[in-house]
């Protein structure tokens, strides 16, 4: 519990249910009055109360947009370029097909995200803020902004901009390009000048994921010590995860360091009878049922088994589907969602997709398809302007590891009889605009 600067006592939420408090049952109420009832007003603004940046540093919060980068380090990097006033952006784009957590927050608890954005702006001295959100979340964001204006809460002008429904729309340099009006909104090369130096309107720019900002909103209220009551020393707090299974998807909040099996509400038999579990989405990695059973929600440990917590996507692949066909479809989708800018990604992902389709559908793997796919992975790793190819590589390498026996059988005997089973991994159908690159 902590007393806010206005004198009211804020009640800290119970461990493990933080962001999802009030959202789990019934129809959640996204209004500002309910938000105030639930969380109280935001203390520590305009120099009063606690130092948000100091609390963030002490909290050890890591970004929930997929990279798990220390949030205070990112804020400090933007603050260092303070010759010009920075711009702050709430990134609600969530291009990952298996993820629902950011849209859940943005539509059901928009004020939590906006509070985090406002705290970022005040800590960094920003006078411009953006919410970048998909069409489906815009009504909730816009009415939340209207409420705040009506309450006289906001001095900060917040612009709401629609994000395209493309996988890469939420990549941070793509976000900057979108806000700068560049079409299509694809990533930039940031190897020489980063968006922290020069981003929206040429200003130092902080792009922060919606869930991360929601955590910031709570740290701003209850402080670092409260935040650390859940999780481990190295990885404190909770995370939202979207669990995808044959029956549909749901969002859970998991304490970091907790076992994923129980945290995700999964049945041990369902997991143990599966082909494997995908962690971190289509740029994440596959783990075996045995590994998943013991795995805890810590990025370091998940990395050690070849996956990532990433954006918190979990998908259990049941036995009745063909894992090679599922992988081939995802890689083809990811290839199509590439920005089409970088040669190694354009040609590498296309060849991986074709070889996987050969294995899964046509019995055209030849004797060395798996070996060739792994060679391409090694060739293109780290050679894109963004991490898109690297994510696909992790997905493919780990998949060929976990489904190694299946891959070997497909290589020798052609497609299996499960190839026609309905797909479990969601593949959005969409046409994205991109540059077309001709072979040199």
Partner 1 sequence: MTRRSLRVVVDPTKCEGRGVCAEMLPELITLDGWGFPVLDEGGSVSSEIVEHAVRTVRACPRQALHLVEHSS
Stretch that binds partner 1, among 69-77, 107-115, 150-158, 336-344 (CB under 8 A): 336-344
Secondary element (H or E) of residue 271: helix 268-272
188 binds partner 1 (CB under 8 A): yes
- Is residue 121 within 8 A of residue 81, CB to CB? The reply is no
343 binds partner 1 (CB under 8 A): yes
153 binds partner 1 (CB under 8 A): no
Closer CB to partner 1, residue 106 or residue 335?
335
Stretch that binds partner 1, among 33-41, 135-143, 260-268, 334-342 (CB under 8 A): 334-342
251 binds partner 1 (CB under 8 A): no
Show Cβ contacts of residue 293 under 8 Å, excluding neighbours closer than 6 positions.
261, 268, 271, 272
The distance of closest approach from Cβ of residue 77 to partner 1 in the complex, given in angstroms and rounded to an integer, is: 16
Show Cβ contacts of residue 398 under 8 Å, excluding neighbours closer than 6 positions.
285, 286, 287, 306, 307
309: left (phi over 0), alpha (psi -120 to 50) or beta: alpha
Give the whole-angstrom CA distance, residue 174 versus residue 228.
33
- Is residue 275 within 8 A of residue 317, CB to CB? The reply is yes
Closer CB to partner 1, residue 181 or residue 248?
181
| Distances in whole angstroms, Cα of residue 88 to Cα of each of 46, 124, 208, 214 | 16, 8, 8, 14
Report the residue from 341, 354, 411, 432 that binds partner 1 according to the rule CB under 8 A. 341
The distance of closest approach from Cβ of residue 389 to partner 1 in the complex, given in angstroms and rounded to an integer, is: 10
Report the residue from 191, 247, 248, 367 that binds partner 1 according to the rule CB under 8 A. 191
* Interface with partner 1: number of residues (CB under 8 A): 21
Give the whole-angstrom CA distance, residue 352 versus residue 343.
14
Report the residue from 324, 345, 359, 360 that binds partner 1 according to the rule CB under 8 A. 345
Residues 93 to 152: which contact partner 1 by CB under 8 A?
Answer: none
189 binds partner 1 (CB under 8 A): yes
Closer CB to partner 1, residue 169 or residue 402?
169
The distance of closest approach from Cβ of residue 440 to partner 1 in the complex, given in angstroms and rounded to an integer, is: 4
* CB count in 10 Å sphere of residue 375: 12
Report the residue from 92, 342, 349, 392 that binds partner 1 according to the rule CB under 8 A. 342
The distance of closest approach from Cβ of residue 173 to partner 1 in the complex, given in angstroms and rounded to an integer, is: 10
The distance of closest approach from Cβ of residue 387 to partner 1 in the complex, given in angstroms and rounded to an integer, is: 12
What x/- string results for residues 346 through 365 when contact with partner 1 is judged by CB under 8 A?
Answer: -xx-----------------
Task: Calculate Rg over the CA atoms of the chain.
Answer: 22
What x/- string results for residues 370 through 399 when contact with partner 1 is judged by CB under 8 A?
Answer: ---------xx--xxx--------------
DSSP one-letter code for 362: I
Concatenating the DSSP letter of every residue in 68-102 gives --BHHHHHHHHHHTTTS--EEEEE-----TT--HH
Closer CB to partner 1, residue 108 or residue 342?
342
**Six token digits for residue 307:** 């996956």
Torsion angle defined by CA atoms of residues 62, 109, 277 and 353, in that order, rounded to the nearest 10 degrees:
-90
Residues that bind partner 1 (CB under 8 A): 187-189, 191-192, 339, 341-345, 347-348, 379-380, 383-385, 437, 439-440
């Amino acid at each position: 519990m902590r007393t806010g600067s206005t004198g009211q006592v804020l009640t800290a939420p119970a461990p493990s249910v933080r962001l999802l408090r009030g959202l789990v049952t019934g129809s959640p109420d996204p209004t500002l009055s309910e938000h105030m009832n639930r969380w109280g007003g935001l203390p520590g603004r305009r120099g009063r109360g606690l130092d948000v940046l100091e609390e963030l540093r002490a909290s050890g919060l890591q970004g929930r947009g997929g990279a798990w980068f220390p949030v205070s380090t990112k804020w400090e990097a933007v603050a260092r370029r303070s010759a010009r006033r920075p711009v702050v952006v709430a990134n609600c784009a969530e291009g990952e097909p298996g993820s629902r957590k950011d849209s859940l927050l943005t539509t059901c608890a928009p004020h939590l995200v906006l509070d985090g954005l406002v705290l970022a702006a005040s800590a960094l001295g920003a006078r411009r803020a953006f919410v970048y959100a998909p069409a489906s979340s815009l009504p909730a964001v816009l009415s939340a902004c209207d409420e705040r204006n009506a309450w006289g809460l906001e001095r900060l002008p917040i612009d709401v901009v629609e994000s395209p429904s493309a996988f890469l729309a939420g990549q941070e340099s793509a976000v900057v390009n979108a806000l700068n009006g560049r079409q299509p909104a694809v990533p930039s090369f940031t190897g020489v000048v980063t968006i922290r130096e020069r981003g929206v309107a040429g200003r130092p720019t902080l792009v922060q994921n919606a869930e991360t900002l929601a955590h910031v909103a709570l740290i701003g209220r209850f402080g670092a010590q409260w935040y650390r009551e859940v999780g481990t020393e190295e990885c404190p707090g909770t995370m939202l995860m979207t669990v995808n299974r044959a029956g549909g998807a749901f969002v859970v909040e998991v304490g970091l360091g907790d076992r994923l099996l129980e945290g995700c509400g999964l049945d041990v038999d369902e997991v143990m009878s599966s082909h494997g579990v995908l962690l971190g989405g289509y740029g994440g990695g596959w783990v075996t049922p045995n590994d998943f059973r013991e795995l805890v929600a810590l990025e370091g440990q998940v990395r050690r088994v070849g996956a990532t917590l990433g954006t918190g996507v979990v998908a259990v692949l049941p036995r009745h589907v063909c894992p090679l066909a599922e992988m081939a479809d995802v890689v083809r989708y990811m290839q199509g969602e590439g920005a089409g800018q970088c040669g190694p990604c354009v040609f590498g992902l296309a060849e991986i997709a074709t070889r996987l389709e050969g294995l899964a559908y046509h019995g055209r793997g030849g004797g060395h398809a798996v070996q060739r796919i792994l060679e391409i992975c090694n060739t293109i790793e780290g050679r894109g302007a963004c991490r898109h190819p690297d994510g696909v590589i992790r997905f493919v390498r780990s998949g060929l590891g976990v489904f190694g026996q299946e891959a070997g059988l497909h290589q020798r005997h052609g497609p299996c009889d499960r190839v026609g089973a309905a797909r479990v991994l969601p593949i959005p159908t969409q046409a994205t605009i991109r540059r077309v690159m001709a072979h040199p």
